[in-house]
Every structure is written in structure tokens, then in C-alpha cells.
Amino acid sequence: MTAPAFSAAAPSPAPAPSLPAWVWVKVFTRLLAIQGAWNYESLLGNGIGFCLEPALRYLPGGVHGAAFKEAIARESAYFNAHPYLASVAVGALARAELSGVPADRIERFRTALCGPLGSVGDRLVWAGWLPFASLISLAAFGLGARPLLVIGIFLVLYNAGHLALRIWGLRVGWTRGLAVAPALGNPLLRRGPAHVARAAAAAAGVALPLTAARVLDGGPALLAVVLVGAALVSILLVRVHGRVEGYKLALVLIALFALLSVAR
């Protein structure tokens, strides 16, 4: 019977050597480019190897040693995760490799880590924090903010969460190693997506009418017509969800409108 690679009851990590600060700077900078070679076959795999490479140089024998080459080959294989939460994997895998954890255990750990880091990250970031930051900025626009303030609000708000998540992930991965599972039960990751979704829903409610009013720059009657029309079309879009993409529908209808405008 083999030990589980990834469970809440995983043992405490073996002591690992400390790495110089510049190595962490390199690893973190590379994390920002983790999707540089993303493809439909190995997905994020090459990016994981790329991010780990500065840390793996500290394996016995250095970059020319067998341990380094085996680790690079192992870590560059197929991997899938949300790009921001991949920092958890990079931290944990660096710890495991430098602690001399057996290869088969590392490979099982990598496999087990893919699912949680993908689904949690997608819900928390792509379906939560990103639309939330976007809608807050749109609300600021609707309230009359100038261009610099609108984009400043978005970039500061979004990246406060983005960079904090990457730094937290790298830190918790390195600290916990293969015992990182309990950290993924962090309340922020478990309940955060639902809280962010509710906040984003409220922000959407505030932002949409305000944004429409500022762009339209017309009277209240026309605004009412636009908002009611938008509500009706949105109901239709929800009903055909999965069959029609909103942006393609908008592209076709706006193109037809433009043709009508020049043809009449």
C-alpha cells in the first residue's frame, strides 16, 4: 500500500535548505510568465519547470548533476492549474525536490494538485475577483470618474488581489511542501468565491445603470428604453446560454446596424 500523495493528513515536510532571496525573486518573476509556452498538450507543464529551474540549481551536483536533470524532466511534464495558484505548486514542488522526496511520490502529488488548483483559482479569480474589480471600475466610470482614475481603480484593486494570491501561494507551498492540502482549505479559498460573487453581483447592479446612463448621455426616457431593452435581451441571452456567445451576437447586430446606417 502506498502513502497518499496529497491529503489533509500528509506528514510534516522534511527540512529543506534555505534559498537566497534572489532565487525567490527569480522564481516569482518567472511565475508572472508561467503561461509563456502554454499549449494544448502539456498545458502549464513547461512553465512549472521554467519557474522551478532557479531553485533546482541547488540540488546536489548543480545544473550538470543527474538530480537536476531528472527533476527538470519531471517538472516540465503535463500540468494544469490556475496560473496564479500554480504558485502553490511551484513552492511545494521546490520544497519536495530540494528535500529529496522520492520521484514517484512527487509525481503523484503533481497529479493530485492539478484539480484543486484549477477549480479554486477559476472560481476565485476568473469568475470572482476579475469581474468584481471590473464592475467596481465601471461603477466609478458611471459616477463620473476621469479616465486615469477609472483605470487606476481597476489596476490597483485587481492587482492587490492578484499579487497577494501569487505571493501567498508561493509562500504556503514552500512552507508546507507536500503537506499543502490543509492550506487549500483556507477559508479565503473555500468561502471566498461565494463572498466575492455576492459582492460582484451587487457591484453589477450598481454599475450597469450608471454606466449606461453616462455612455448614453441622453434623457431619462431614452435611458429607460435602453435599460428595459437590455433586460429583455439579457433574459434571451441567459435562455440561449451555451449556444450563443454574447460578443458574437453583439458583433453581428452592431455590424448590421452600421450597414443600415450607411445604406439608408
Q: Of residues 88-117, which lie at the interface with other proteins (CB under 8 A)?
A: none
Nearest to 170 by CA among 119, 97, 94, 74: 94
Site for other proteins, residues 242 to 261, rule: CB under 8 A:
245-251, 253-255, 257-258, 261
The region of 17-25, 97-105, 122-130, 180-188 touching other proteins under the rule CB under 8 A is 122-130
Surface-to-core class of residue 194, CB atoms within 10 Å of its CB (0-12 exposed, 13-18 middle, 19+ buried): exposed
- When the beta carbons of 187 and 248 are compared against other proteins, the nearer one is 248
Residue whose CB is less far from other proteins, 10 or 208: 208
Tell which residue, 45, 24, 53, has the closest CA to residue 167.
24
Across-strand partners of 43? 39, 79
Other Cβ atoms closer than 10 A to 35: 14
Q: Using CB under 8 A, which of the segments 5-13, 85-93, 100-108, 137-145 binds other proteins? A: 137-145
| SS3 category, 79 | strand
Using the rule CB under 8 A, which residue among 27, 53, 89, 111 binds other proteins?
53
- Tell whether residue 143 is a contact of other proteins (CB under 8 A): yes
Q: What amino acid occupies position 182?
A: P
Judged by CB under 8 A, does residue 137 bind other proteins? yes
* Under rule CB under 8 A, residue 156 binds other proteins: no
- Measured N-to-C along each axis, helices 86-98 and 66-75 cross at an angle, to the nearest 10 degrees, of 160
Query: Is 87 one of the binding residues for other proteins (CB under 8 A)?
Result: no
* CA gap 226, 179 in Å, rounded: 54
Judged by beta carbon, residue 8 or residue 224, the one nearer other proteins is: 224
Q: Based on the shown chain and the rule CB under 8 A, indicate whether residue 4 belongs to the binding site for other proteins.
A: no
